[in-house]
Structure formats: structure tokens, C-alpha cells
Structure 1
Amino acid sequence: MTTVIAFLAALALLIAVHEWGHYRVAKACGVKVLRFSIGFGRVVWRRIGRDGTEFTLSALPLGGYVRMLDERDGPVAPGERGQAFNQRPLRQRAAIVAAGPAANWVLAVLLFAAVAWLGSELPKAVLGTPPAGSLADQAGVRAGDWVQAVSADGQQWDAVESLADLQAAVARAQALGEPLHLSVGAPGHGTRSLRLETERLAGRAPDARLFLDIGLSPLAEPLIRQVAAAGPGAAAGLQAGDRVLTIDGQAVPDAGFLRDAIRRAHDGEQPRAMAWQVERAGHVVELQATPRVIEEGGQRIARLEIGVGGPPERVFVSHGLAGGLWRGVQQSWDMAATTLRLIGRILTGEAWPRNLSGPLTIADYAGQSAQAGLTPYLDFLAKISLSLAVLNLLPLPMLDGGHLMYHLFEGLSGRPVPERWQQFMQRIGALILLLMMALALSNDVARLAGWH
């Protein structure tokens, strides 16, 4: 129920803001608006505004529209011709079309800024032991390394305030097929620069196996958080609250080391018994643990079916009025640029279309963020609002970007796009959008079913 409510609330807000942008600029330009609708199909609620506009809610909430007086849609009374959309100057028509995506962009900036103003307590970007062979391991990451800044080229650096900043930078670099430089500091080792070769994982879908191959996780104590009742960890006698001291005589410094030791406890086919020393209620307990070997992401790994890791060190991140607003502008610009570059890579075959997400994934994220609290939900809304702005600016017929291309053609040629060409391109645009929606929905199903 939380997921459904959070998803519908997000849709209602983002669609209303988008259509409100079209509506307000149309009114400012003297165009008569006939209907402002949230949703399509059968009308379930309506109200007539003071200016004569019909405001409606319709049965299918996946979108909305603003219907304006237009001679191309039917006869217009002579006294109202000046209020018809098609009679307005080209610059006004273009402004009305662009106002929807612009409203979503402004909303994203304000929501990102609100997240920065409210602040939140986040894991600090102090890293644990990376899995053997992961990108972080090959880059030289050590337990206790604190990532203070990141860079795409090793020249211009962006400060890292929390683990969330680091994860966002890593995801962006991997999606774009670029390396990521890390500036890290550690007690007794000073500051050094590392190169994370995220370009080697370009095109991979963002799943659990990808995050394991990257190998960045927060530093956490080697504690047992939970033990599955029928799993091999429970059979070995492990209990929630145990602190792991050694495995096969080797000291366990952190949860990352512990996870990696468990994963590698097999000889390919058969699991290997491990000798554990754990601290329990002030006493040292020795036991033998034999994991279960499973196939995951095309590789065989060992599992004890336990949750490991104590709470990581956290830091409260917030910004003042001007700083938060500037952060909102930066985040929205960076995300828009990344999204466009990723779309370009998908179109050229350099990235997998698996990166496209549809309504099921969005709904799932809506529910998760709403359950996590106000700040995560606002951050989710900002990202979806910006994605909606960027998507609508793509030069595809049926989208705002396609109509802007018509206006650009008219501005350069001095004549509008012929009606028959508009109808033909509308059909092509509808087909492309349907294919994109089908692909995104299939990605959703595969992701939720665990097929990716």
C-alpha cells in the first residue's frame, strides 16, 4: 500500500507540475486553455475555473495534457481567433511547449535543494576491505580509506561528503564507460590518488554482481547481524551479535574481509570447512563453519546465509540556503548531462538498454524511498522530475522535444512542417515510444524476477 500511494502521489505531483508549466505560459501568452487534465480516458472529476478552463482528473493516471484553442483541431469563432495557439507568434508557441519540461526541471532543482537544506545522516565514505579481484582491490583500496574527492579526469575534483556521493559518482562513471579517480586519505598514510577502472564494466546492468565487481562498501565491524534459521551458519552454531575474531587463524579486521573470506571458501565445486573464533558475551567461542556453494552471476560463490557488518560510521550532511540551492542546480545539471550521454551510448550500442527502467521499477523505488523517510522520498521525486524533463525534451514526435523541432524547422525555413509530414512523424514517434515502453517494462519484469 505504501508503494502504491507513494507512486501515485509522485505521478500526480510531477504530471501536475509539467502541465501547469504549459498552462501558465499559455495563459501568459494570451492563449485560451480549454482543458487541464491529469490522466487520460474517462473523466472522474471536473471543475470549471474562473477563466473557463475545465480542470479534470481522468481514470488513467499515466500522463496528462493541456488542451488549447487551436484552429487545427476544429472551427474557432472569429472573436476568439486571437486566442488560438496556432495564431500566436513562433517564439510564444515554442515557449509554451518548452514550459512543461522547464517546470519539471525547476521542481527538480528545488527538491534537490530541499534535500540539501533538510540534511540527512548518511554513511561516511570510509571504505572497508574490497573483495579480492574487484576494481577497488585492483586500484589499491585498503580498509579505512576515506574517499574525500572524485574526478573523471584526475584534474578537476568534486568533494565527496558521504558514501551516497561516492556511489552516485561510481554509477555515473560506469554507465558512461569512464574511469573514476579517487582522492583517499587514511590514518598514517597521508592522501593518495587511485584510479578505479569503471570503464571496464561499461554496459553492465546495475545489479548485485556489478556492485560486487566494483567492490566499494563502507567500513563496518565484523559482527554477525542475523542468521538464517535453516542455513549453514545456524548449523555451525553462529548467533546474531557474535563478533568474528579470526577465520582459519587469520585476524578479521572488518566486515568486508569477512564477506570475502566466506565467498572464497570453496575449491570450485565443494565448500571448504573454516575454523572460526568469535567473541560472544565476553567469551571466545571456537566453531567450524561449512558454507553452501551456489551459482550467482555466472560464478560459484560460498554462502553461510548470515548477515554481517555492524553499523558504519555516519555523518550529518546539510547545506545553507545559497549552498543548498547551488547544489540543487549542480545535481540537476550533472544528472541531465549523464542521462543524455547514457541515451546516446544506448543508441550507438555502447551501453545495454537494460539501463532503461519502467513504471514497475519506479514504483518500487517510490515505495522504498517513502519508507526510508521524507528526505529520501524528496530525492526520489527530484530524480524522477528531472528524468521526465529530459525525456520530454528528446526530439521525438509526440513529445515536447518533437514539437520544438517542428518550431525550429518553421523558424529556419519560414514555413510550418506540412500536415502530412506531421501525421507521418506522429505515427513513427508513437511506435518508438511504444517500443521504449515495452523494453522498459520488460526490464522491470526481468529485474524484479531476478533474471538480470
Structure 2
Amino acid sequence: MLYTLLAFLVTLGVLVTFHELGHYWVARRCGVRVERFSVGFGKVLYRRTDKHGTEWAVSALPLGGYVAMQNDPPPDATPHQIQESFNNKPLWQRAAIVLAGPMANLILAVVIYAVVGLLGAQEPAAVIAQPAAGTPAAQAGFQEADRLTAIDGQPVRSWGEARWEFMEALSSGGELTVTVQDAQDRQRERRLLLPAGEISPDERDLLAEAGLALMPPRALVQEVFRDSAGEQAGLQEGDVILKLGDLDSPGVVQFVERVQQSAGQTLALDVLRSGQLQHLFITPRAQAVNGVQQGRIGVQLGPDFDMVHVRYGPVDSVQRGFVRTAETFWFSLKMIGRMVTGEVSVRNVSGPVTIADYAGQTARIGLIAYLNFLALISISIGLLNLLPVPMLDGGHLLYYAIEAVRGKPASERMMMIGQRIGISLLAVLMSIAFFNDITRLFS
């Protein structure tokens, strides 16, 4: 729980503070006086004033931050103080300052994705299991052990990259040309027709429903305990289980279940060791578990995934950062539009509890997973703030667009009405998000 809370606070603190830094940086470039930049809210724990008169503060509640600008000049202001006020700046400068916050979040996402590409990661290869009969993948001719190499001309190396390329078609439907390398190392093209699927926040996997699932890993011997049945049979660390009795390429669960059911029985065992096939025989030893005799061989197993190292050079990493950010932004925007029209369930809206949960989960998985999560949430914050809803940055930009058309600022009455609408919309959105969070907690 504490780990999840810390991961969430780091996520929120970094992303919101970076958002405010965007506002601050452009405001300073435009000559606006920034009175305070606070990291966190509430009681100020530490403060320092720089040469420009900006107070930099660290506050008690670490839930983001804020920038306080001089909106209007003080009484008896000097001409310089008047010039430093936000509301006295030209329209384009005010719009640039407001736009800078969401843009900072999008730029941060580009940087994070570029860093992830430079660091690289071990990922499962895009090798698929046998598609279930009647699924779109089976109808397209996909076979077990097909390695996906390109989707609509876009090269893929890992299962994660393949899932990303399928994402758009899975949600809206469409036909894709998928290039594969089959089990005989021949290059083939499959025409995959996907129906539109409903995006939902539960465990439903649209790609698996289409018949495309990752090839189940074989069982890998990670450790052989001394004086065990496994050591007696000649098993060694690094052996890949190819066959146990009549089971071909069993997974970890299948292997364990067969061993448990075979106490005292001698089973033929084929393993792959350093590229060479080894024929062994193993006799699980009987051991009482809750009054039931079960077979044990004294071996620790793990999954033997076909892994690839996905890493990009500096130029490709930056390019990939821009492309991934743009694609995620556009996909998220379309999902919002489909929620408004009722095509996508509002159950997909997540609140702080769900975000905190994912922050903790990805942080436990590792640095790369957490960085990808940070980039995704940064894009979400940028997109949310660009929506033309009063009270958000996008609402201010809407007012500036009206000012540009009218030649004068929006009327006070118009802004009051907009403020009420904005508060109402945000209240509804927050209510849906919290309801979804609570529902997920107890479902």
C-alpha cells in the first residue's frame, strides 16, 4: 500500500509540476511577472525568492503544484508593472502561456518514450499460438508459431509492438495486412479482417478474441535441488522441457499437474540442453499434501519465453517518441469522442484510485514499465487540459478564440455561464471516475 501511494505521489508530482513549468517558462519569455511557483499545495514548508521576484515554494500536500502570475497590475502601478501583468499581454502571448502547460506534458511524453527506446528492454517475441477455430485469425490462415514481422507495412519485433499496431483496428474494426514468418521460415502475408470491438476496462482481451494470442512458454528448469528426483534423473539448470510422457511442450502448470498426478510412476522426459535433445526418465517421489499423495521432483521451473531485445538508436528513439505520443493522443481523443456518442462505455474513465493502482503495479514491474505509464498519464493530462471546457486550459483557449473573432474579450456574463458549465462537467466527470474506481475495488 505504501509503495503504491509513493509511486502515485511521484507520478502526480512529476507530471503536474512539469505542466506548471510549461506555463512558467513561456510566461517568463513573454515578460509576465510570476509571483509564486509552488510544488505541492497547502502550508509552505520551504521558500526561496529568486532575482526576478518569484517565490519558489515546497508545500505540504504533494499533489502537483501551481503557478501564480500577476494577472492585473497593483494600485498605483508603474508602467513596467503594468507591462508585466498577464491580462495586459497581447492575445497571442496569453494563448501561448495557457497552451504551454498541456504542450509541456506532451513534450515530456516524447522525451520519456525516446528514453525508453534508448534504454531498450527484453520483450516476448511476436510468436502466436494456434488461433481458435472460427476466429478472424483462423479465417485469415494464421498458424501456430507464426512470427509477426510487419502490420500494414509497419515492422514489429515484439509482442508489445504488435499489440500497439493492432490497437486502432481492434477498437474501430478494419482490414489489416499482416506479414508473418511461419514455422518453416517462409514469409507469408495474411489478410486479417477485424470487427469493431467494445473497449472495456475489464480483463477482456480483444486481440485474444480475434484469435491472436502469445505462444504459451515451455517450462524451463531454473534450479535443481540436491538429492531430488530431478537431480537423480539428470535434469540441469537451463533445460527446456520438450516432452513429459505424452505431453508435448508442456507449460509450467501442465508440467506440475502431471508430476503431481504421477507419484511413483516413471515418465519419459525429453529436454533441450544447449541446443541438443536429451532423453531422460524421471520418477516423481510421493509426498503427502493435506492427506493426499502427490508427486514431487525437487525442481524449480519458470516460463521459457522467446525473448527479443527491443532497442533503438538516438534518431529512431526520438522519432518513435513523437510518433508514439501523437498516436496515443489521437487514439485517446477518438475514444473520448466515442464515449460522448455512446459507442464506448464511460466505465473506461479512471479516477485517482485506479491510477494509483497502476502506478504501483508498473513501478513493481520495473523502470521501463513505469516510464511507459508516466508517458501515458502525461499524454492524458495534456489532452484533458486541452478540452474546450471552461476551468481547463482548453476553456481559456476557447475564450481567446472568441476574442480573436469578436475583436474584444468575451463578456463577463458569457464567462460566468461558461464557468458554471465547466464546473458542472468536471463534477460529473469526477463522479463517474470515482464511481468506476469504487466499482473496480469491490468487483
Q: 2:321 corresponds to which residue?
A: 328
The aligned counterpart of 2:388 is: 395
Kindly state the Cα deviation for residue 178 of structure 1 after the two structures are TM-superposed.
Answer: 4.4
In the other structure, the counterpart of 1:169 is 165
Residue 358 of structure 2: which of 359, 365, 377 is its match?
365
Residues 328-337 or 359-368, more deviating: 359-368
Structure 1's 397 and 246: CA in aligned 2 closer, same or farther, altered over 3 A? same
Whether the 8 Å CA contact 2:95–2:397 is kept in 1: the answer is: yes
Unaligned runs of 5+ in 2: 222-238, 256-266, 272-279, 285-300
169 and 254 in structure 1: CA distance in 2 versus 1, 3 angstrom threshold: farther
Structure 1 residue 355 corresponds to structure 2 residue 342:
no
Which residue in the other structure is 2:290 paired with?
none
CA contact 1:18–1:101 (8 Å) conserved in 2: yes
Aligned residue identity for 2:378? S
Note the aligned Cα RMSD (angstroms): 3.3
Contact in 1 for aligned 2:46/2:58 (Cα 8 Å) = yes
Deviation (angstroms), 1:199: 3.1
Distance 1:359 1:177, change over 3 A: farther
CA distance in 2, matches of 1:180, 1:448: 37
Deviations 1:130-150 (A, max 9, x none): 345554444433210111111
Q: Distance in 1 between matches of 2:329 and 2:102?
A: 12
Q: Distance in 2 between matches of 1:84 and 1:336?
A: 33
TM-score (norm 2): 0.79
SS of the residue corresponding to residue 364 of structure 1 reads helix
Deviations 1:393-413 (A, max 9, x none): 111111111111111111111
SS at match of 2:26: helix
CA drift at 1:257: 13
Q: 1:377 aligns with which of 332, 345, 370?
A: 370
Matches within 5 A, 1:89-238: 89-151=90-152, 157-188=153-184, 190-208=186-204, 210=206, 212-223=208-219
Larger-gyration structure (1/2) = 2
> Is residue 219–residue 255 contact of structure 1 (8 Å, CA) maintained in 2?
no
* Distance verdict in 2 for CA 1:427–1:92, change over 3 Å: same
Relative to structure 1, is the Cα distance of residues 62 and 221 closer, same or farther in structure 2, using a 3 angstrom cutoff?
closer
TM-score (norm 1): 0.77
Cα distance in 1, alignment partners of residues 269 and 348 from structure 2: 44
Q: Which amino acid aligns with 2:414?
A: W
Give % identity: 40
Offset from partner CA, 1:98-129 (integer Å, 9 cap, x none): 11111111111111000001111111101122
CA distance in 1, matches of 2:141, 2:251: 18
CA distance in 2, matches of 1:177, 1:37: 46
Q: Cα deviation per residue 1:50-94 (whole Å; 9 max; x = unaligned)? A: 22112233444444321211129x757244111110100111101
Matches of 1:114 and 1:145, distance apart in 2: 31
C-alpha change, 1:47 and 1:119, in structure 2 (3 Å) is same
Q: Supply the distance in 1 between the matched residues of 2:329 and 2:167 (Cα, whole angstroms).
A: 14
Partner of 1:289: none
Structure 1 pair 139/105, CA: closer, same or farther in 2 (3 Å)?
Answer: same
Change (3 A) 1:190 1:409: same
Q: What residue identity is the alignment partner of 2:117?
A: A
SS at structure 1 position matched to 2:216: coil
Describe the shift of the 1:404–1:183 C-alpha distance in structure 2 as closer, same or farther (beyond 3 A). same
Once the two structures are superposed, residues 306-333 of structure 1 have per-residue CA deviations (whole angstroms, 9 ceiling, x without a partner) of: xx98321001111111111111111111
Alignment of 1:319 onto 2:319: no
Letter in 2 for 1:440: A
1:238 — aligned with what?
none
Residues 26 and 96, structure 1, Cα contact 8 Å, conserved in 2: yes
Superposition deviation, residue 424 in structure 1: 1.7
Partner of 1:57: 58
Question: Aligned partners of 2:136, 2:434: CA distance in 1, in Å?
Answer: 31
Specify the code of the residue in structure 1 equivalent to 2:373: F
Residue in structure 2 matched with residue 77 of structure 1 by the alignment: 77
Give the aligned residue type for 2:214. P
Following superposition, the deviation at residue 198 of structure 1 comes to 4.1
Q: CA deviation at 1:46?
A: 3.0
Aligned to 1:294: none
- The alpha-carbon distance between structure 1 residues 319 and 395, as it changes in their structure 2 partners (threshold 3 A), is same
- Whether 2:281 is the aligned partner of 1:283: answer yes
Question: Contact 1:128–1:219 (CA<8 Å) still a contact in 2?
Answer: yes
Residue segments in structure 1 that go unaligned for 5+ positions in a row: 152-156, 226-240, 260-276, 287-307
Are the structure 2 counterparts of residues 386 and 436 from structure 1 closer, same or farther at C-alpha, using a change threshold of 3 Å? same
Q: State the shift of 1:197 in Å.
A: 4.5
**Comparing 211-220 with 314-323, which one deviates more in the overlay?**
211-220
After superposition, what is the alpha-carbon deviation per residue over 1:372-422, rounded to whole angstroms, capped at 9, x for unaligned? Answer: 222222222111111211111111111111111111111111011112211
Please tell me whether the aligned partners of residues 44 and 56 of structure 1 are also in contact (alpha carbons under 8 angstroms).
yes
